[in-house]
């Protein structure tokens, strides 16, 4: 018998749906972080437009990659989702500050990260049970 504080085990379909939904932010953030490390002209121009100094591009890229890797590892995914929330919150605030309408992109990535994690991790569903 299952207690009210335990989540139902993850079904195979729910697990795969969570993995697929989680893959989108992971792939986009890995690409974005790698681009920051390579420092092409378009990335450098973007950073100048945001008002950040060029010396921070690599640091922010490493931070982005580290948060994404922590999220991608199942055992540390909850901590990774929290870290990504902070990172993506900063990206959203930066875009809003300069009036860039693409502020919605990091917001959507954060929502996808949490949705995917919710579907694939029974610990999170036990912590945040949705009632039907």
The CA distances from residue 81 to 3, 56, 77, in Å, are 26, 23, 6
Query: Has residue 8 got a pLDDT over 90?
Result: no
> What's the pLDDT tens digit per position in 79-125?
999 999 999 999 999 999 999 999 999 999 999 999 999 999 888 88
Domain ranges in the chain are 12-123
Q: Is the pLDDT of residue 1 over 50?
A: no
In whole angstroms, give the CA distance from residue 88 to residue 93: 8
Cα-Cα-Cα-Cα dihedral of 121, 126, 129, 132, to 10°?
Answer: 80
CA distance 69 to 120: 17
Confidence bin at 57 (pLDDT 50/70/90): very high
């Amino acid at each position: 018998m299952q207690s009210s504080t335990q989540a139902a085990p993850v079904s195979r379909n729910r697990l795969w749906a969570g993995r697929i939904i989680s893959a989108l932010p992971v792939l986009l953030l890995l690409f974005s972080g790698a681009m920051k490390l390579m420092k092409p002209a378009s990335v450098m121009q973007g950073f100048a437009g945001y008002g950040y100094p060029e010396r921070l591009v690599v640091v922010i890229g490493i931070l982005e990659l580290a948060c994404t890797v922590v999220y991608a590892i199942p055992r540390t995914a909850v901590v990774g989702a929290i870290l990504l929330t902070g990172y993506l919150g900063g990206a959203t605030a930066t875009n809003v500050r300069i009036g860039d309408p693409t502020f919605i992109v990091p917001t959507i990535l954060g929502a996808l990260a949490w949705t995917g994690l919710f579907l694939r991790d029974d610990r999170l569903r036990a912590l945040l049970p949705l009632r039907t």
